[in-house]
Amino acid sequence: DNQDSKEKEELTAYVTVDENKKLIRMGELTFKELLWQSYHCLEARDFQKINEENVKLQLMDEENNYVESDEDVKREFKRDDPTFHICWTPFQLITGKRKIIKNALVVMVAISEYTEDTMWRDLPNVQKEDSKNFEQLFKQELNYEMECNPHPSMTRQEIQDFIDQTIHKHDLVKNTKKYDGLIMIFCGHGEYENMFIASDGKRLSIDKIRSSLNCNEMESFKDIPKIFIIDVCRGENIPRAHKVATRGKEVRYGHCDDGFLIIWSTTKGYRVADLSLLSKSMKNIVTSKYKNGQPFKQILQEIRTHIRNNKSSEWYCVESQDTTDYDIIFQQRKFV
C-alpha cells in the first residue's frame, strides 16, 4: 500500500491556465492522460473561448517547448515539480490555393562581428544560436540547399557580392535547378527604413534586395514563394512589457511584388534583443508541425504565441507582410 501511495504521489503535476495553477494526478505517464487531465482543468469561459475564437488547446513545458508525445511528458516528469502550461493557438483549415515547397534555396546573411570604429556592438548569439537554429531547420531537417555568408564579419560590399554570387552560382535568373521557393534570412543589426548594418557600419537596404527578386527583375521566380525572415532592430525605441488580459475564368493582373512573405522579429521603430528567440521558436515549431501538412501561415501564428509565452517576449513582436494569395506548405526534399 505504501508503494502504491508513493507511486501515485510521484504522478502528480501542475497545469497552469492563464494565471491559475492546478494540481493534477496522472493515472499513467502518457500524453493522452495529460491531455485528459488538462481538459478537466478548464472552466466554462475556456470552452467558450475555444468555440468563439476558433482556437485549440496546446501544452508546453517549463522551457516553452510544445508537449506532444509520451516522451515529452516523461521528460518533464523528471523534474522535481513537473509543470505544464496551457496555451491557445488558432485552428485553421486549409482552404483555397496552396503551394508546396520541397526544393527551396535558402540564403542566410548572419553578421555577428562589427569593427571597433563603428557604434555597433558584437552579437554573439547570431553566430552561436541563430545560424545553428536555421541550419538545423532548413538544411538538416528539410534538406534544402543553403548558402550562408562565409564570415561573421563582412562589409557592405562583401555582403552584396555574396548575394550576387549566390544568384549567379545557382542560376536563379533562369532557375535551371527548378527551385520552388526562395528563403532569405537576415540576422544582425538593423536601423530605420529597413536597413541592414554591415560589419563596417554601412547600411544595406533590405527593400532593394527584395525588389531585385520581384517578377519584373527575376521573371523565373514570378510564381514562386519568396520568404524573407528578418531578425534585426528597426529603430531605437525600447519596447515596454504590458500585461495582457487573460480572458472562375476572369482575367486577373498581378502586382510585381506578389508572392512575398516577409517576417520581421519586431515592428517598425523598435529594438530587438540578442536572444535568438525567433530562430529557436521557428526551428522547434516548424519541425514539429510541417510533417502534418500544416500551412506555414498557421505555423507562424503558433510561433507568435510561443514567443509571447516566453519570459523575454517583450523584446519581440513578430510582424508579417504577406502578398501571397495561397497557403505555403513545407515538405522535406527527397534525394533522387
Inside any domain, residue 114: yes
Distances (CA, A) of 199 to 97, 112, 133, 194, 202: 41, 8, 22, 17, 7
Are 21 and 142 found together in one domain? no
> 216 with 299, same domain?
yes
SS3 content of the chain, % helix, strand, coil (to 5): 30, 25, 45
Note whether 83 and 123 are same-domain residues: no
Rounded Cα gap, residues 44 and 39, in angstroms: 11
Residue 250 — pLDDT band, cuts 50, 70, 90?
Answer: very low
**Which residues have a Cβ under 8 Å from the Cβ of 18 and sit 6 or more positions away?**
246
Mean pLDDT, residues 209-236 taken together: 80
Model pLDDT, residue 167? 93
Nearest to 290 by CA among 335, 333, 227: 333
Of 13-22, 47-56, 174-183, 262-271, the poorest mean pLDDT is in: 262-271
Q: DSSP letters of 128-197?
A: IIIHHHHIIIIIIIS--EEEE-S-S---HHHHHHHHHHHHHHTTTTTTTT--SEEEEEEES-EETTTEEE
Q: Do 112 and 69 share a structural domain?
A: no
For 204-217, what is the mean pLDDT? 86
What mean pLDDT is predicted for residues 255-263?
A: 62
Q: Which domain holds residue 248?
A: 98-330
For residue 6, the model assigns a pLDDT of 44
- Which cell goes with 70? 509520451
Q: Quick one: 44 and 144 in the same domain?
A: no
Does residue 335 belong to any structural domain of this protein?
no
Which residues make beta-bridge pairs with 66? 60
Question: Are both 16 and 77 inside the same structural domain?
Answer: yes
Please give the pLDDT value at position 216. 77
Of residues 264 and 21, the one with the higher pLDDT is: 21
| Mean pLDDT score, 274-294 | 81
Looking at the domain assignment, is residue 9 inside a domain? Answer: yes
- Condensed to tens digits (0 to 9), the pLDDT of residues 54-96 reads 778 889 888 878 898 999 999 999 988 999 999 887 665 555 6
Mean residue pLDDT of the chain comes to 81
CA distance 275 to 219: 37
Strand pairing category for 83-90 and 319-322: unpaired
Question: Are residues 146 and 165 both part of a single domain?
Answer: yes
Q: Are residues 181 and 323 in the same domain?
A: yes
The answer as to whether 39 is a domain residue is yes
Residue 31: pLDDT band (50, 70, 90) is very high
Q: Tell me, what CATH number does 265's domain have?
A: 3.40.50.1460
Q: How do residues 161-183 score in pLDDT, each as one tens digit?
A: 999 999 999 999 999 999 999 99
- Residue 336 resides in a domain: no
Asked if the structure places residue 138 within a domain, the reply is yes
Task: Look at residue 13 and tell me if it is in a domain.
Answer: yes
Q: In what order do the strands lie in the sheet with 190-191?
A: 190-191, 195-197, 203-205
How many other CB atoms are there within 10 angstroms of residue 294's CB atom? 19
Among residues 68, 90, 112, the one where a domain terminates is 90
pLDDT of residue 48: 87
Of 99-103, 258-262, 320-324, which gets the smallest average pLDDT?
Answer: 258-262
Question: Residues with Cβ < 8 Å from 117, sequence gap 6 or more?
Answer: 201
Residue type, 118: T
Could you tell me if 46 and 164 lie in one domain? no
The domain total for the chain is 2
Among the candidates 90, 106, 123, a domain finishes at 90
Burial (CB count within 10 angstroms: exposed 0-12, middle 13-18, buried 19+), residue 126 = buried
pLDDT of residue 259: 63
In this structure, the answer to whether residues 79 and 215 fall within a common structural domain is no
Regarding whether 114 and 84 lie in a shared domain, the answer is: no
CATH number of the domain bearing residue 58: 3.10.20
pLDDT at residue 192 in the model: 79
Contact (Cβ atoms closer than 8 angstroms) between residue 328 and residue 294: no
For residue 156, being part of any structural domain is answered with yes
In the chain, % of residues over pLDDT 90: 39
Do residue 165 and residue 218 come from a single domain?
A: yes
Q: pLDDT of 94-145, one tens digit each? A: 556 888 999 999 999 999 999 988 888 888 888 888 899 999 999 999 999 9
E strand or H helix that includes residue 284: helix 277-289
Which of these three, 57, 90, 123, is where a domain ends? 90
Q: What's residue 241's pLDDT?
A: 43
**C-alpha cell belonging to residue 176:** 535551371
